Chains A and B, each alone.
Chain A
């Protein structure tokens, strides 16, 4: 079993929809949780970075961490075609070493 599980999708939604992306993990030592967005032929771009359980909001993006359930989520409000990309969750127990989920491919249709 992988340390971090993420549904690869693909996930297709209409423009304006609320998108929910999720990851589960098994290692209780993970302390920091990140969401990256990766466009085709590009490197991952950091979207959200959280430490504690709870919610963190940045514009249309909300990251949610539930350490008791070992479950993290990323919500995208008012999704746009430009949000079409692969979304990767990542987490770390020790600095410099991230454990990534497989990534979820999202397509937002106009």
Chain B
């Protein structure tokens, strides 16, 4: 079974621009979560989607948004990029997003904002 696939692997953007990251979950998984990983803050939860609905949201500004499609694929968008948005963005999928359903991560998208 293919794992979680994230595209692109690397992105370089300029301050003020916007970016869209893509995630394809493991086949059969209906929950997709997004995390930001930085050396200083570690892994922090952004949001979780299930059946095209955002069920949970972390403590990030509104510039960070996401959506999920009917095939469970998900996208994350960051608008008006800031230098501090430079990070590894990780997508994780699980069967249904409940506690009994462990998360499996992709290899991430490395975003650099200059």
Q: Which of B58, B90, B97, B107 contacts A95 (CB 8 A)?
A: B97
Interface of A is mostly: strand
Q: How far is the CA of A57 from the CA of B31 in the complex (A)?
A: 28
Interface of B is mostly: strand
Q: How far is the CA of A74 from the CA of B43 in the complex (A)?
A: 19
Q: Provide the residues of chain B in CB contact with A102, threshold 8 Å.
A: 42
Interface bits A78-102 vs B (CB < 8 Å: 1, else 0)? 0000000000101011111111111
Contact B102 A49 (CB under 8 A): yes
CB distance from B96 to the nearest CB of A (A): 8
Tell me if B75 is interfacial: C-beta within 8 Å of chain A: no
Q: How far is the CA of A94 from the CA of B101 in the complex (A)?
A: 11
Q: How large is the interface on A (under 10, 10 to 19, 20 to 34, 35 or more residues)?
A: 20 to 34
Instruction: Give the residues from 47 to 63 in chain A that come closer than 8 angstroms, CB to CB, to chain B.
Output: 49
Contact A97 B107 (CB under 8 A): no
Query: Which residues of A line the B interface, CB within 8 A?
Result: 31-32, 34, 36, 41-46, 49, 88, 90, 92-103
Q: Could you show 17 A-B contacts with beta carbons less than 8 Å apart?
A: A36-B105, A42-B107, A43-B6, A43-B107, A44-B43, A44-B105, A46-B102, A90-B43, A94-B56, A95-B31, A95-B48, A95-B97, A96-B50, A96-B56, A96-B94, A96-B97, A99-B45
